[in-house]
Chains A and B, each alone.
Chain A
């Protein structure tokens, strides 16, 4: 090791370790960041050059484990040294950006999916969220950007208990953008609820009939919700039983698309009559809404007591998600469903855009009432689609993601005041 030249030193109370690493990581010098106690005792060190992490050691450990440990137990002081370039560099730990992402999401721990939400409140969150400016940056065309991407004033937060009174529970699953996984969430959530002993009905309010696609049953039903918008009395005989006890589905439509009904699907009253009939058959009804927050979604949501938003952890989705609360706010307050919460879907811990989107929604987590359960993107979903089953029912040998839907169902029930029949069982453990 060559001669060390001190470049700067300071306290990690003032600048967090992620900030120090990102700043020093820009340097093309061979640098060493030593981490010390306030008494000057050396606890660990990270060597970097031009954004590459060359090595890391902490309390006798080396490699990426030491790097991650430093984030959890960083000493209070840092010293940055420059050392002469080496004649050759052996294998590195990889780019700093990737290691910071991994440290931020704690990917190396299998419990990431359920523990990931508190990230925004952790110091390590500053990796991608440094201190915001005191004032928003104004540019000449900022008003255009504001109109397009974010409201000048946040849309009103619909009250959680807006209109729900004792009676049938109807939960709309909605999102301003298509392809975010509403149908997947609806189906798997319904399975978990039914598995807990509840009678569950699912209404496909999207004329695309995505629920039938998900379970590979297109062409296997005679009629669905859109066929019944003007004939709700036929609901009982049109609900399709499933392989899961307690779960019934009302698909969107039969083999022919009822074009006239599509125009009527923007009318709240026709959905209200239909949904009312369905609720007679179930303890809890889930309504899989079409993409977007207006037109048919808006009308169907008026028939719901609660709404669950689905947020895809992806940049484009995060930009359009402001329309979720705005769409809800457009529903007259007396008929507006209470916001049960927003679930983050398709989270990818190794993708910068997904992490960025996740941070954005977390930063606004209170208004959206984020669920603690986060659903990751996984190949298990496509494998389930191939066998024409909801994931929750496709892998009894056990994908952990199925368990996440049980958690989501529990969270939902506790928020909307639905008690599992299972929860009413005697609680004696040792008999």
Chain B
């Protein structure tokens, strides 16, 4: 599966996310329920109270979708590192690797749970096109996060802006 995102993929991500927003809390519940169902061994990486984790998940997804909103033609524009998808996700990956000791293998289960949740939540709107777009985005994010253990200096400390949550 390629990680390359075309305008059509980005549009499919945005379009489908708009349908998720009204049921975002339910979707987050479904995601963790499914994740722990298919990979119960990862439950120990989370605190008993999963609510803060759900908020972080939704904030990150919101940030990812917002990043898709940015037109390719505006590539010359300057963007702060805190608003840069690569820089933020790379640092997130570094934290998952160094602080939480999350194994690389867990990204498969998380991806499966995410797609399952989108499929369940979107129903007929989860078309092959939408599935392909989210699969590409997730593959890109998972690869970036795995590279997080290679992050140094600035690449390891960038965090999502607090107000993005």
B112 touches A7 (CB 8 A): no
List, in ascending order, chain A residues with CB within 8 A of B4's CB: 22, 97, 100, 128, 352
B126 touches A141 (CB 8 A): yes
List, in ascending order, chain B residues with CB within 8 A of A22's CB: 3-4, 140, 143
List, in ascending order, chain B residues with CB within 8 A of A7's CB: 87, 90, 151-155
Given A29-B81, A52-B75, A129-B1, CB of A15 within 8 Å of CB of B155:
no
Q: Which of B79, B120, B147, B154 contacts A5 (CB 8 A)?
A: B154
B147 touches A130 (CB 8 A): no
Closest to A145 in B: B128
A27 touches B112 (CB 8 A): no
Q: Which of B3, B75, B84, B112 contacts A137 (CB 8 A)?
A: B112
Given A8-B90, A8-B151, A137-B111, CB of A29 within 8 Å of CB of B79:
yes
A127 sits at the interface (CB 8 A): yes
A23 touches B84 (CB 8 A): no
B81 touches A82 (CB 8 A): yes
For A, the interface residue count at a CB cutoff of 8 angstroms equals: 46
B147 touches A137 (CB 8 A): no
For B, the interface residue count at a CB cutoff of 8 angstroms equals: 46
Given A138-B112, A138-B116, A352-B4, CB of A10 within 8 Å of CB of B75:
no
Interface residues of A in 279-310 (CB under 8 A from B): none
List, in ascending order, chain A residues with CB within 8 A of B135's CB: 137
Q: Which of A19, A50, A145 contacts B143 (CB 8 A)?
A: A19
Given A23-B86, A23-B144, CB of A50 within 8 Å of CB of B139:
no
B147 touches A15 (CB 8 A): yes
Q: Mark B1-39, 1 if CB is under 8 A from A, else 0.
A: 111101000000000000000000000000000000010
Q: Mark B78-90, 1 if CB is under 8 A from A, else 0.
A: 1101011111001
Closest to A30 in B: B78
Which 3 residue pairs spanning A and B have beta carbons closest together?
A7-B155, A50-B75, A27-B86
Identify 13 new A-B residue pairs, CB closer than 8 A, beyond the known A7-B153, A97-B6, A134-B105: A6-B154, A6-B155, A7-B90, A19-B3, A23-B3, A23-B143, A23-B144, A26-B85, A29-B86, A49-B76, A130-B2, A132-B1, A352-B6
Give residues in A with beta carbon < 8 Å to B: 5-10, 14-15, 19-20, 22-24, 26-29, 49-52, 80, 82, 85, 89, 95, 97, 100, 127-130, 132-135, 137-142, 145, 149, 352, 356
User: Could you give 25 example pairs across A and B, Cβ below 8 Å?
Assistant: A6-B154, A7-B87, A7-B151, A7-B155, A10-B150, A22-B4, A23-B144, A23-B147, A28-B77, A29-B87, A49-B75, A50-B72, A50-B74, A50-B75, A50-B76, A52-B75, A82-B154, A128-B2, A129-B1, A130-B139, A138-B38, A138-B116, A139-B119, A139-B126, A140-B116
